[in-house]
Amino acid sequence: MADNTSVAVLGTGIMGSAMARHLARAGLDVRAWNRTRAKAEPLAADGVRVTDTPGEAVDGAAVVLTMLLDGPAVLDALRQAVPRPAAGTLWLQMSTVGIDGIAPLATFAREHGLVFVDAPVLGTKAPAEKGELTVLAAGPPEVRVRAAKIFDIVGRATQWVGEDGAAGAASRLKLVLNSWVLTLINGTGEALALADGLGVNPRDFLAAVAGGPLDAPYLHMKAELILSGDYPPSFTVSAARKDARLITEAARQAGVRLGLAEAAAEQLRRSEELGHGEEDGAAVYFAAAGG
């Protein structure tokens, strides 16, 4: 893949904007589209061409990278781009869309001759901005070298899963990983809310687990947001709630009962209802703290 490879990035939220910047700084020809154009405009300073429509972004692009909220949003953007992208275009689908969401996208790719790679990422704002995401990928073996040239720019590691390269294996793994992420976020919020309720200094709790088997960097990261009272979004409450829904739906289909995931989904719903939807997921604390 030449250094001037053209890449269309559809979706320039927290994750997509960071990806677009890294790709442009690596010397690639990057075009970006976002439903709200104003959110994409700052990318122009990094040499990204901001477009008004998905079709303009993907026209002539060798690679299309999608990083949108969910499966319907991704499918809508690609449908708007028809009759582009051209057959043979590499489509790196990096949004978290779940099991039900991936199937219509893979079908769209087959119908339009696109080379589809199911490639959600593990990581939030900070690793995205540093180019240190972990890419979970499933796709045809013959395109892995091609795809890796993009993945190596936006991430620190790529984990290929699924022996046959069929779409869905990476998205299934992402749901498992996100179930653990939501457990950590919700557990942190509830532990600190309980500490407050019992008159325990939250820092005494953090000191007690520090360096031991119960410790986790993510615990301290989210706890510091709660203790500061400031929740700049890295992985928003609303996005976490969407992922919780995808996880619980997949679990029901698999005949698995996920009591913790269902409880996390309810706490996230309550936090969103309290007006914290666009704040960092650590704001789930308010659901437990009562306001």
Backbone angles phi, psi at 173, to 5 degrees: -65, -40
What domain range is 152 assigned to? Answer: 6-165
- Kindly state whether residue 1 falls inside one of the protein's structural domains: no
For residue 255, how many other CB atoms are within 10 A of its CB? 6
Question: Which stretch of 17-26, 201-210, 282-291 has the lowest confidence by average pLDDT?
Answer: 282-291
Sheet holding 49-50, edge to edge: 49-50, 29-33, 6-10, 63-66, 90-93, 115-118
Please count the structural domains in the chain: 2
- Kindly state whether residue 151 falls inside one of the protein's structural domains: yes
Same domain (yes/no): 132, 12: yes
- Kindly state whether residue 120 falls inside one of the protein's structural domains: yes
Task: Give the span between the Cα atoms of 200 and 195, in whole angstroms.
Answer: 5
Q: What percentage of the chain has pLDDT greater than the value 90?
A: 96
Q: Which two tokens stand for residue 227?
A: 């203790």
Task: Give the span between the Cα atoms of 40 and 25, in whole angstroms.
Answer: 16
Same domain (yes/no): 131, 116: yes
* Per-residue confidence band for 290, with pLDDT thresholds at 50, 70 and 90: confident
Is the pLDDT at 107 greater than 60, yes or no? yes
Same domain (yes/no): 12, 119: yes
Same domain (yes/no): 276, 231: yes
Same domain (yes/no): 117, 56: yes
Could you tell me which residues are beta bridge partners of residue 133? 155
Q: Which of 112, 141, 165 is the last residue of a domain?
A: 165
Same domain (yes/no): 131, 216: no
Contacts of 36 by beta carbon, 8 Å cutoff, 6+ apart: none
- Kindly state whether residue 20 falls inside one of the protein's structural domains: yes
Same domain (yes/no): 135, 276: no
Instruction: Write b or e for each residue in 179-211: b if 16 or more Cβ atoms lie within 10 A of its Cβ, otherwise e.
Output: bebbebbbbbbbbbbebeeeeeebeebbeeeee
Residue type, 250: A
Same domain (yes/no): 200, 78: no
DSSP states of 99-147 as a string?
A: HHHHHHHHHHHHHTT-EEEE--EE--HHHHHHT-EEEEEB--GGGHHHH
Q: How buried is 31 (Cβ within 10 angstroms: 0-12 exposed, 13-18 middle, 19+ buried)? A: buried
Same domain (yes/no): 19, 161: yes
pLDDT tens for 112-159 read: 999 999 999 999 999 999 999 999 999 999 999 999 999 999 999 999
pLDDT tens for 3-44 read: 569 999 999 999 999 999 999 999 999 999 999 999 999 999
Same domain (yes/no): 14, 132: yes
Q: Which of 132, 165, 198 is the last residue of a domain?
A: 165
Task: Give the span between the Cα atoms of 262 and 249, in whole angstroms.
Answer: 10
Task: Tell me the CATH number at 182.
Answer: 1.10.1040.10
Task: Tell me the CATH number at 26.
Answer: 3.40.50.720
Could you tell me which residues are beta bridge partners of residue 30? 7
Same domain (yes/no): 153, 230: no
Find the mean pLDDT for residues 254-283.
Answer: 97
How much is the mean pLDDT over the chain? Answer: 96
Q: Which of 119, 134, 165 is the last residue of a domain?
A: 165
